[in-house]
Structure 1
Amino acid sequence: MARREIKKTNESKKQKTNKWKQGTEICESRQILESRQILESRKILESRKILESRKILESRKILESLQILETREILLLSLREE
């Protein structure tokens, strides 16, 4: 009878330990998922920043080329007038 009780307590301890391990594994997997999501969102933000900076650079180049064209036009007009 005492052996049965010992077996029961041992089994319940094993079950509790298994539940604890499962809970720990679930928490760890959640943490891993959260860290992956954080990394992915950082990558997305970085790529957005890169795209925005490229757009800014492209728009600057366009503006500069427009200014050059305007300057050329002004020079041509002034030359024609002379």
Structure 2
Amino acid sequence: MGAERHVKLFRNGRNQAVRIPVEFELPGDEAIMRREGDRLIIEPAVQKTNLLEWLQSLEPLDEEFPELDERGPPPKDFEL
């Protein structure tokens, strides 16, 4: 199990609330909360990004790729 910390619950108007300690802060300004049995799960809301933004966020690969025959194998139903 990961880090754990005892926190106090309090009222904020009609809502029950908890302060999130700095070591558990989530990115962004929205989160998703769901109940699983007696547990409350709070996760960062997934930011929708387009494919180009996602690709730009990836780290470059540091591995060599094998040399390939440019033609590749013929299709199985191909006749010469």
Shorter chain as denominator, the TM-score bin is under 0.3
Kindly name which structure, 1 or 2, has the bigger radius of gyration based on alpha carbons.
Answer: 1
Higher RCO (Cα < 8 Å, 6 or more apart): 2
TM-score between the two structures when normalised by the length of structure 2: 0.16
Structure number having the greater helix percentage: 1
TM-score between the two structures when normalised by the length of structure 1: 0.16
